[in-house]
Amino acid sequence: MGTLATIAALTACSNGAATEPDRRSSVGTAPAPSFGPPETISTGLQAPWSIAFHDETPLISERDSARILELDGSGVAREVAVIAGVTPMGEGGLLGIAVHDGHLYTYFTAAGGNRIERFPITGRPGALALGPAQPILEGLPSASFHNGGRIAFGPDDQLYATVGDAGQQDQAQSLDSLAGKILRMTPEGDVPADNPNPGSLVYSYGHRNPQGIAWAEDGTMIASEFGQNTWDELNIIRPGGNYGWPEVEGIGGDDRFIDPVQQWGTGEASPSGIAIIDETIFIANLRGEVLRAVPVDEPATATTHFDGEYGRLRDVARAPNGDLWLITNNTDGRGDPGPEDDRLLALTP
């Protein structure tokens, strides 16, 4: 059994007694990854939310404008499309994007709730366009906050989506609701036959507002989650797992629920997008204004980078050349924008 699989088994069956490690943040106890000087790829973005790549062409979603942008080799942004039906409100709007099999998948807030649509990508770099919208999933819980919104394809070729509780806290514990869940579906939006709850898209539950998902080399799924007043979380996601919200926030030591492998005070984190490169989990933090690095084989440890240097960080992604890309989010209404914000930065680990 691999290191992460072993830790996942521990989190599933222990109530936090002597055999359990202390999973509060243990900053600096593992070797810190090093970077070259950050390179600014693009500037002047407006509330960017997610990065994806169509072959080697970067695509970015903007929350409030509902624009999909493509970047050329010099970082110049071009509008590919404005996603119809997006209703920006508070933390809602055009959120996560993912590319799969020639299609762009989008998660966004609409008048009738959050939804996922996909679009055929047409044209060549520098002149990309989107074909007609194809509904994948509609009517997800939405509000001006706690929308989740991250989508990604796992190593199993299935589509995963994080859904916040949208203020419906009690629904996070109900398997009859999609609020406060991580969902798993086929690329067409159907329920996979091997989902943990037959006939249900629910992959894990008891979440408040998860906004980051990624997979380690051994296939273990990792997720970041916003807490309420006390603890933000880093979780190893198990099929069918219950992560405790609203009964538990952070490490609860309650054997009904799976504890996080690491937690941070809400003032130092607000973890959003995550990516895994060379077995290090990189986490973009909004309120904490840091890039946090967590070793896959020591998930209770962390180091921080760029403390306050670039302001709020929303998403990170592995670029096709292996670099780490991150986007700032100082124009989202809660930050303090600088003259070039928002920015896309590239780091070479």
Residue corresponding to tokens 């799924």: 221
Task: Report pLDDT for 21.
Answer: 42
Sign of CA dihedral 237, 240, 244, 246: positive
Residue corresponding to tokens 């054997």: 255
Q: Give the pairing of strands 221-226 and 209-215.
A: antiparallel
Taking the domains of the chain in order of start, what are their residue ranges?
3-11+46-347
Q: End-to-end CA distance of the chain, in Å?
A: 28
Hey, how many other C-beta atoms are within 10 angstroms of the C-beta on 340?
Answer: 13
Question: Half-sphere exposure of residue 187, counting CA atoms within 13 Å on the CB side?
Answer: 16
What is the rounded average pLDDT of the residues 105-113? 98
* Listed range (13-17, 226-230, 272-276) with the worst mean pLDDT: 13-17
* Integer CA distances (angstroms), 316 to 29, 82, 85, 87, 282, in order: 23, 23, 26, 24, 7
Q: Give the pairing of strands 113-122 and 103-110.
A: antiparallel
Which residue type sits at 178? Answer: L
Task: Report pLDDT for 11.
Answer: 46
pLDDT of 16 strictly over 70: no
Residue 87 corresponds to which tokens in the numbers above? 């209703």
Question: What is the spatial distance between Cα 346 and Cα 39, in angstroms, rounded to a whole number?
Answer: 5
pLDDT of 29 strictly over 70: no
Question: What is the spatial distance between Cα 71 and Cα 75, in angstroms, rounded to a whole number?
Answer: 5
Task: Report pLDDT for 28.
Answer: 57
What is the rounded average pLDDT of the residues 138-162? 98
Task: Report pLDDT for 36.
Answer: 83
The pLDDT confidence band at residue 32, using thresholds 50, 70 and 90, is confident
Asked whether the beta carbons of 223 and 238 are under 8 A apart, the reply is no
Question: What is the spatial distance between Cα 94 and Cα 47, in angstroms, rounded to a whole number?
Answer: 10
The CATH code of the domain at 3-11+46-347 is 2.120.10.30
- What pLDDT digit, counting tens, does each position of 113-142 carry? 999 999 999 999 999 999 999 999 999 999
Q: State the DSSP H helix or E strand holding residue 3, giving kind and residue range, or none if neither.
A: helix 3-13
What is the rounded average pLDDT of the residues 42-67? 98
Task: Report pLDDT for 10.
Answer: 44
pTM of the model: 0.93
pLDDT of 243 strictly over 70: yes
DSSP per-residue codes, 81-94:
EE-TT---BTTBSE
Query: What is the separation of C-alpha 225 from the centre of its chain, rounded to a whole number of angstroms?
Result: 9
- What pLDDT digit, counting tens, does each position of 196-211 carry? 999 999 999 999 999 9
Sequence-ordered list of residues with C-beta below 8 angstroms from that of 343, at least 6 positions apart, any chain: 40, 41, 42, 43, 45, 310, 327, 328
- What pLDDT digit, counting tens, does each position of 40-52 carry? 999 999 999 999 9
